[in-house]
């Protein structure tokens, strides 16, 4: 029997969640002076971790501004950004919003700043600390076909890349799940890890570098691949580099990606539950052997799938409990 909760259980959770938020927000006693309250979870993320930023403010102010959150390093350089989406509005007119961003795997450890911005500038900031993290380095030799896939210009490949970026940089409004994610396969055998620093060796002896955006599971062709969480299928098609590919939207700006599939079992626009079959693993596209590439993107940024398995990305109760005044 699947360990994923059924739709009824999730629906009951949603029904009871809104009243709890109203009570909690009332207890916090939000001022009616246009000020905001801000929280970040976690406050000590590592490179690759998702960060949920909670924002409480008067609903009228929220409607009148295009709000976004920006992560800045100690030098004031922008590391990542995301747009806010509405969670709920209480009876006193206080709006609870959230934005989910990710700390880039290239971010250096140390102090960082989360800034809430509107069209007129910064509305408030809070400090966080980015932890340290080490990544694996690997060297991959490519044959002629895979060398060509990476190096030869191709208008279709460029068009596919533009379409992909348009999807991954889009922040919708639907919250399909508030659960932590689950691995899309039962196997624990990994052949590459999130954030691996890669060196590709081409057949002519030249080299190129990249950062691995997800996790590669070394599973044989035909292995069942299942949705890591409930969501909406926004892409299900063959692509030149990633082969047969599926992308699922789970939260505003949060997507899971499944690459190099042998077969696709879902269609674009369909809704899936956690644990639903999305396809079978394979070696289509740029692949040196059968495997599943599983990737999480948050506001367009590569995000560690293990972090999304360990904790729910959107923990509304935790957001409310940590909201603090911003001056």
CATH code for the domain of 141: 2.70.70.10
Residues 21 and 126 in one domain: yes
- Residue 8 has phi, psi (to 5 degrees) of -65, -40
Residues 142 and 275 in one domain: yes
Q: Is the dihedral of CA 184, 185, 190, 191 positive or negative?
A: negative
For residue 33, being part of any structural domain is answered with yes
pLDDT, position 326: 52
For residue 2, being part of any structural domain is answered with no
Q: What stretches in the chain show pLDDT beneath 50? A: 1-34, 327
CA 69 to chain CA centroid, nearest Å: 15
pLDDT, position 60: 61
Condensed to tens digits (0 to 9), the pLDDT of residues 88-107 reads 877 777 788 999 999 999 99
Residues 81 and 195 in one domain: no
For residue 103, being part of any structural domain is answered with yes
How many angstroms separate the Cα of 226 from the Cα of each of 17, 217, 259, 281?
A: 27, 13, 12, 10
CATH of the domain at 46: 2.60.40.1930
- Tell me how far apart the alpha carbons of residues 222 and 279 are, in angstroms, rounded to a whole number: 8
pLDDT, position 20: 39
Residues 89 and 126 in one domain: yes
Q: Residue 282 carries which DSSP code? A: B
Q: Total structural domains in the chain?
A: 2
- C-beta neighbour count of 45 within 10 angstroms: 24
Task: Give me the residues paired with residue 238 across strands.
Answer: 244
- Tell me how far apart the alpha carbons of residues 113 and 73 are, in angstroms, rounded to a whole number: 6
Residues 246 and 295 in one domain: yes
pLDDT, position 6: 46
For residue 319, being part of any structural domain is answered with yes
Cβ proximity of 154 and 110 under 8 Å: no
Residues 218 and 319 in one domain: no
pLDDT, position 5: 42
Residues 84 and 156 in one domain: no
Q: Residue 46 carries which DSSP code? A: P
Residues 114 and 167 in one domain: no
The set of residues, in sequence order, having a beta carbon less than 8 Å from that of 151 and lying 6+ positions away, is: 202, 208
- Tell me how far apart the alpha carbons of residues 296 and 4 are, in angstroms, rounded to a whole number: 19
Residues 153 and 111 in one domain: no
State the pTM of this model.
0.87
For residue 244, being part of any structural domain is answered with yes
In terms of residue numbers, what domain contains 51?
A: 7-133+313-325
pLDDT, position 95: 83
Cβ proximity of 294 and 184 under 8 Å: yes
Condensed to tens digits (0 to 9), the pLDDT of residues 31-63 reads 333 478 899 999 999 999 999 999 988 766 656
Residues 150 and 121 in one domain: no
For residue 119, being part of any structural domain is answered with yes
Cβ proximity of 299 and 100 under 8 Å: yes
pLDDT, position 102: 98
For residue 127, being part of any structural domain is answered with yes
Residues 147 and 257 in one domain: yes
Residues 57 and 156 in one domain: no
pLDDT, position 88: 81
């Amino acid at each position: 029997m699947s360990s994923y909760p059924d739709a009824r259980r999730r629906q009951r959770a949603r029904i009871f969640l809104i009243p709890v938020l109203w009570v909690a927000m009332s207890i916090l006693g939000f001022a009616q002076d246009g000020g905001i309250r801000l929280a970040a979870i976690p406050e000590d993320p590592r490179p690759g971790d998702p960060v949920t930023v909670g924002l409480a403010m008067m609903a009228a102010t929220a409607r009148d501004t295009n709000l976004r959150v920006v992560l800045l390093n100690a030098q004031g350089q922008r590391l990542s950004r995301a747009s806010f989406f509405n969670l709920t509005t209480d009876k006193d007119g206080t709006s609870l919003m959230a934005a989910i961003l990710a700390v880039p795997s290239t971010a250096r450890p140390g102090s960082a700043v989360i800034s809430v911005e509107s069209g007129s500038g910064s509305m408030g900031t809070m400090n966080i600390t980015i932890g340290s993290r080490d990544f694996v380095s690997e060297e991959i030799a490519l044959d002629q076909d895979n060398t060509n896939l990476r190096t030869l210009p191709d208008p279709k490949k460029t068009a596919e890349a533009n379409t992909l970026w348009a999807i991954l940089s889009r922040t919708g409004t639907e919250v399909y799940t508030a659960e932590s994610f689950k691995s899309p396969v039962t196997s624990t055998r990994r052949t590459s890890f999130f954030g691996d620093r890669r060196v590709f060796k081409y057949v002519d002896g030249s080299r190129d570098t990249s950062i691995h955006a997800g996790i590669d599971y070394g599973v044989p062709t035909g292995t069942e691949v299942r949705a890591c969480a409930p969501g909406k299928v926004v892409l299900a098609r063959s692509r030149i580099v990633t082969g047969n590919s599926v992308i699922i939207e789970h939260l505003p700006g949060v997507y899971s990606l499944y690459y190099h599939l042998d077969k696709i079992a879902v269609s674009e626009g369909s809704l899936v539950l956690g644990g639903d079959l999305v396809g079978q693993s394979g070696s289509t596209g740029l692949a040196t052997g059968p495997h599943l590439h599983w990737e999480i993107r948050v506001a367009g940024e590569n995000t560690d799938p293990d972090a999304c398995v360990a904790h729910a990305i959107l923990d509304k109760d935790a957001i409310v409990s940590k909201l603090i005044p911003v001056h």
